[in-house]
Amino acid sequence: MGIATQQQQSKPESQGWRQNSHTPSLPEVHQSMAVPVKGSFFRKLLAFAGPGYLVAVGYMDPGNWATDLAGGAMFGYSLLSVILISNIMAVVLQSLTARLGIATGRDLAQACRDHYSKPVNLALWVLCELAIAACDLAEVIGSAIALQLLFGLPLIWGVIMTAFDVILVLLLQNRGFRYIEAIVIALIATIIACFAVEMFLSRPDLGEVMHGFVPNPQIVSNPEMLYIALGILGATVMPHNLYLHSSIVQTRRYEDSVPGKRSAIRFATLDSTIALTLALFVNAGILVLSAAVFHTSGHTEVAEIQDAYHLLTPLLGTGLASVLFGVALLASGQSSTLTGTLAGQIVMEGFLNIRLNPVLRRLITRLIAIVPAIVVIGLYGEQASTDLLILSQVILSLQLSFAVIPLVKFTTDKRKMGPFTAPKWLGIISWTIAVLIAMLNIYLLYGTLFAS
């Protein structure tokens, strides 16, 4: 009787879904890592640590670098407040994805399939695949630029070389999910270490940095500043991360009860919040570096990654600055690419209930990114790489609301979430963020397509 009651309590949300049963997300690693029922707070936090860092890499991928560099070079530290606000929005949305995955046992794609009609699901799947391909395009270009800057490799060859990371992904998946998490955390640590040294070398004005985190009315009144601010906002929250996080939190084997799930939601939220705080350091670090080195020296036109790399050495007086910048960029591209395969696998399985071999899935996604990159660079030259980066961010911005709105809708619905429904205050904040993102991305898209 007690067991039956516990099982009934652990799945109170089933009444709000069309189907009570479903295949677990990423079945090969589902609940593959045990979480201690008893133990210290730190031990439990360590058991949950990992998924948040896989999500965080999407917030520091090469697609964000161009907007952060341009913002710092043109306007100094003023746009740090935009990065901070974007990060707060990301923390809220990723906490909702963890809540959805743990409470319902569904990832966001599965939840959509169980709620919307087949035509709507097909449209959502196509949009999400475009977003993943766009994100992969940014990672391909970013990694290729890093290889060119560090080793002098032609950009087009760097793009082709990025296809070989399929082998790395396959090896890591065969060894277990914890290995993927460990590699990503190591790459994030590399990025943070590089920027910590860059901060020391550039010696930014700490007073100005702190003042930059305070919102400035000029951001709204200055059209050029507003446009870059919208670019930062639009490129910060990655739509595929919402699908990814709701799935990989289920790799933990937590207690299947209301108290057990509440504890899991709390620790998973803490994990993603800590990881995203580190991502805030990286994004802010790019902008601070740009402001301290380029803006103060009058190089306000710097917007391309290659320009920043070549200017760091003469302006800071050491070649180490440029090398660390290139290493951080390469680590950024490679850490992001490891999560792309998982996200693609999750959305295909979730929306269509079709499972492809991970290697084949990765090859398809990578070819979709590599082919346009090779064609554009071959036709228009290497200077077109920045334009491709911008295009990838526009595509991501266009798709974002189609992931955010269902997420907020599901997690604020008591019929679907039961006792795990987002509190009213969190629901109000979440819907505000969803509406704001939709409005800002429409504005950004309009400005990108129709700017003179």
User: Could you tell me the two tokens for 47?
Assistant: 């058991």
Angle at 39 between CA 36 and CA 42, to 5 degrees: 95
pLDDT at 166 over 70: no
By three-state DSSP, how is residue 154 classified? coil
Asked if 100 contacts 246 with a C-beta cutoff of 8 angstroms, the reply is yes
Across the range 135-160, mean pLDDT stands at 85
Residue ranges with strand state E in 182-324:
252-253
Across the range 383-391, mean pLDDT stands at 69
- Taking only the tens place, the pLDDT of each residue in 431-441 is 999 998 888 77
Q: Does residue 30 or residue 411 have the better pLDDT?
A: 411
By three-state DSSP, how is residue 257 classified? coil
Pairs from 350-354 (Cβ < 8 Å, separation ≥ 24)? 350/25, 350/107, 350/108, 350/109, 350/110, 350/112, 350/113, 350/243, 350/247, 351/109, 351/112, 351/113, 351/121, 351/122, 351/124, 351/125, 351/128, 352/121, 352/125, 353/23, 353/113
What confidence score (pLDDT) does residue 231 get?
74
pLDDT at 11 over 70: no
- Confidence category of residue 288, pLDDT binned at 50, 70, 90: very high
Q: pTM (2 decimals)? A: 0.87
Is 310 buried (19+), middle (13-18) or exposed (0-12) by CB count in 10 A?
middle
Asked if 102 contacts 254 with a C-beta cutoff of 8 angstroms, the reply is yes
What confidence score (pLDDT) does residue 382 get?
64
Q: Does residue 52 or residue 386 have the better pLDDT?
A: 52
Closest CA to 401 of 89, 26, 60, 66: 89
Range of lowest pLDDT (265-279, 343-357, 398-412): 343-357
By three-state DSSP, how is residue 298 classified? coil
Across the range 272-279, mean pLDDT stands at 94
- Confidence category of residue 234, pLDDT binned at 50, 70, 90: low
- Taking only the tens place, the pLDDT of each residue in 332-375 is 888 877 777 778 888 888 898 877 776 676 677 667 767 777 77
What confidence score (pLDDT) does residue 6 get?
38
Domains of the chain: 41-450 (1.20.1740.10)
User: Could you tell me the two tokens for 249?
Assistant: 């939190």
Q: What is the DSSP code (8-state) at residue 74? A: H
Q: What is the mean pLDDT of the chain?
A: 84
41-45, 98-102, 303-307, 445-449: range with highest mean pLDDT:
98-102
Residues in a beta bridge with 252: 33
Q: How far is CA 338 from CA 45, 185, 194, 371, in A?
A: 23, 11, 20, 19
Across the range 229-258, mean pLDDT stands at 86
Across the range 210-229, mean pLDDT stands at 86
Q: Does residue 131 or residue 148 have the better pLDDT?
A: 148
Give me the phi and psi of 41, to 5 degrees please: -60, -45
What confidence score (pLDDT) does residue 403 get?
93
Residues in a beta bridge with 33: 252
pLDDT at 323 over 70: yes
Match 């008591």 to its residue by tokens. 414
Asked if 142 contacts 332 with a C-beta cutoff of 8 angstroms, the reply is yes
Asked if 299 contacts 73 with a C-beta cutoff of 8 angstroms, the reply is yes
pLDDT at 406 over 80: yes
Across the range 117-122, mean pLDDT stands at 93
d(CA 435, CA 65): 25
What confidence score (pLDDT) does residue 446 get?
74
What confidence score (pLDDT) does residue 362 get?
67
- Taking only the tens place, the pLDDT of each residue in 78-103 is 999 999 999 999 999 999 999 999 99
Q: What is the DSSP code (8-state) at residue 38? A: S
CA 404 to chain centroid:
13
CA 191 to chain centroid:
15
130-134, 335-339, 387-391, 448-452: range with highest mean pLDDT:
130-134
Range of lowest pLDDT (153-162, 166-175, 310-319, 373-382): 166-175
Asked if 183 contacts 339 with a C-beta cutoff of 8 angstroms, the reply is no
Asked if 142 contacts 63 with a C-beta cutoff of 8 angstroms, the reply is yes
Q: How far is CA 19 from CA 4, 15, 124, 136, 379, in A?
A: 20, 9, 19, 33, 50
